[in-house]
Amino acid sequence: MIEELDKKIIRVMNVNARKSFREIAKEVGTSVTAVIGAVKRMESSGAIRGYFPAVDPARFGFDLCALVALRISQGKILETQRRIAEDVRVSAVYDVTGEWDSIVVAYFQGRDDLNRFLKKVTAMPYVDRTVTHLVLNTVKDERRIPV
């Protein structure tokens, strides 16, 4: 169960997850021990799944983002999604409702890289059809949740 203190801590960490427990405690008005306990509890329960730098993919050569919609047959959706998720260029695989079975978000180092990925995916068993959308501009890409 997420408590009010947990939400306050996450709000502070959403701004800067590198703050010390002491700084977080001061900001939320509690003890360092309480902050450490809450963070450890949220980590062990899976509410906090990890820490990572928010990077600009283009600065690392991944200047092309694509959303790939997939139609997957014969009830092999989860198996196929798991295989696709193993590719390091894939940042998200969603099981969705509607016309498509899955949406994949991935970053590529140019058109040739995207082309190789699409050929690999369309050659997979049970992948019946794909539609690819290229991201032209990113208006918002937020991983933090409003708590």
Identify the pLDDT of residue 129: 96
Angstrom distance (rounded) from CA 113 to CA 127: 19
What pLDDT is attached to residue 1?
76
State which residues form the domain around 125. 57-134
The pTM score is: 0.84
84-143 pLDDT, tens digit each: 999 999 999 999 999 999 999 999 999 999 999 999 999 999 999 999 999 999 999 988
- pLDDT for 4 equals 94
State the CATH number of the domain containing residue 71. Answer: 3.30.70.920
1-22 mean pLDDT: 94
Q: Is residue 140 part of a domain?
A: no
Same domain, 64 and 127: yes
- Reference 106, options 127, 86, 77; nearest CA is 86
In angstroms, what CA-CA distances link 137 with 9, 50, 63, 115? 32, 28, 11, 20
Same-domain status, 64 and 110: yes
